[in-house]
């Protein structure tokens, strides 16, 4: 039986497994690897901190993901399909490794984050 997401080590497992999929994904990989040119050794610990804050209310996350995604959208159009693919890979990764209330909360939070991010990205285009 799968365990629930219980702390930092589980978050690291989730984030690492998820971004391994993203890097290889036909739709998302080129955006992360070629356009955003993500520095993975730098980015992954930031994501650990982000999800630790989101799921457990602690951690040292400091950042502005909204602005970064709006800037990325100026380089390449981020579509609803991109956000759906991100959510799909995230859910798939959670389901492969975890089960429980925190795992379900992570899916809900990811859905809300993706929806808000898409809305703000699209709104920024309208304001240009």
pLDDT digits (tens, 9 = 90+) for 51-103: 999 999 997 898 888 889 989 999 999 999 999 999 999 999 999 999 999 99
Asked if residue 30 is part of any domain, the answer here is: yes
Q: Is 46 exposed, middle or buried (0-12, 13-18, 19+ CB in 10 A)?
A: middle
Asked if residue 53 is part of any domain, the answer here is: yes
Contact in structure between 117 and 65 (CB atoms under 8 Å):
yes
Asked if residue 73 is part of any domain, the answer here is: yes
Asked if residue 17 is part of any domain, the answer here is: yes
By residue range, what is the domain housing residue 74?
A: 8-126
What's the pLDDT tens digit per position in 114-126?
A: 999 999 999 887 7
At residue 123, the pLDDT reads 86
Domain count, the chain: 1
Asked if residue 115 is part of any domain, the answer here is: yes
Asked if residue 2 is part of any domain, the answer here is: no
Asked if residue 26 is part of any domain, the answer here is: yes
Q: List the CATH number of the domain containing 12.
A: 1.10.490.10
Contact in structure between 43 and 61 (CB atoms under 8 Å):
no
Q: What is the pTM of this model?
A: 0.93
Contact in structure between 110 and 50 (CB atoms under 8 Å):
no
Asked if residue 3 is part of any domain, the answer here is: no
At residue 128, the pLDDT reads 60
């Amino acid at each position: 039986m799968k365990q629930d997401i219980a702390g930092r080590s589980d978050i690291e497992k989730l984030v690492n497994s998820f971004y391994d999929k993203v890097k290889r994904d036909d739709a998302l990989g080129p955006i992360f690897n070629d356009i955003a040119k993500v520095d993975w050794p730098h980015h992954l610990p930031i994501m650990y901190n982000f999800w630790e804050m989101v799921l457990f209310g602690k951690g040292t996350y400091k950042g502005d993901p909204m602005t970064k995604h709006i800037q990325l959208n100026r380089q390449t159009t981020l579509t609803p399909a991109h956000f759906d693919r991100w959510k799909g890979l995230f859910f798939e990764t959670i389901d492969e490794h975890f089960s429980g209330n925190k795992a379900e909360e992570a899916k809900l939070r990811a859905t809300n984050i993706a929806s808000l991010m898409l809305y703000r990205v699209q709104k920024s285009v309208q304001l240009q």
